[in-house]
Amino acid sequence: DGGITQSPKYLFRKEGQNVTLSCEQNLNHDAMYWYRQDPGQGLRLIYYSQIVNDFQKGDIAEGYSVSREKKESFPLTVTSAQKNPTAFYLCASSIWSNYGYTFGSGTRLTVV
Amino acid sequence: KNEVEQSPQNLTAQEGEFITINCSYSVGISALHWLQQHPGGGIVSLFMLSSGKKKHGRLIATINIQEKHSSLHITASHPRDSAVYICAVGRGIQGAQKLVFGQGTRLTINP
């Protein structure tokens, strides 16, 4: 079955370390997105990509970086510059033509 | 003021009750999404609406574009419906469909 795979489900890192979250989709979707969810808040857009080798900042891009070398993959790196990285991270993808959205199961990152 | 407001924030009901969750938005949109998030965190897309009404099983979603309002209804609610329901509006016209999310409604259905 097609879908989005995020790994790992839980991730622990020490403060000051960079960490990369994986997102892979086999839906042949054009666009991919990274969102962050904090307790009691709505999801917020970190980065998105419409095509390979192109990506745009979202509302809270500071301290994050992404790449889109393949259509299927959109990894997110949480850098040491991100002041409050502990959060739940969701990857999503969509088709241009009908705006249908598919979400991954998320990665819960805890920085200690 | 948030661009997307949901009400209520929390809702507790008895099994079998008819449930309504509301969503109001203040911006122009290309589509409105209703999503379901279970305790594990993963999100499932329930509906995408640009006009009218959609039904899937016991779930019904409506949207009024002029009033910038949408509702999600659950008929004959069941404890397995307990989850957080999220309204999100799509802002893109073409290409990437960036979403703006409401804060969610936590629904608890008691047996």
- Backbone φ and ψ of B79, nearest 5°: -55, -30
Q: In chain A, which residues have their Cβ closer than 8 Å to the Cβ of B89?
A: none
Write the residue in A30, A96, A105 that is nearest to B42 by C-beta: A105
Q: What does the DSSP 8-state code read for residue B81?
A: G
Q: In chain A, which residues have their Cβ closer than 8 Å to the Cβ of B97?
A: 31, 94, 96, 99, 101
pLDDT score of A98: 60
Indicate the average pLDDT of chain B.
Answer: 92
Three-state secondary structure along B22-49? EEEECCCCCEEEEEEECCCCCEEEEEEE
pLDDT in tens, A53-98: 999 999 999 999 999 999 999 999 999 888 899 999 999 998 865 6
> Does A102 contact B42 at a Cβ distance shorter than 8 Å?
no
pLDDT score of B2: 81
> Distance (Å) from the C-alpha of residue A3 to the closest C-alpha of chain B?
11
Residue A11, CA distances (Å) to A64, A82, A86, B45, B109 in order: 16, 16, 10, 25, 31
pLDDT for A110 beyond 70: yes
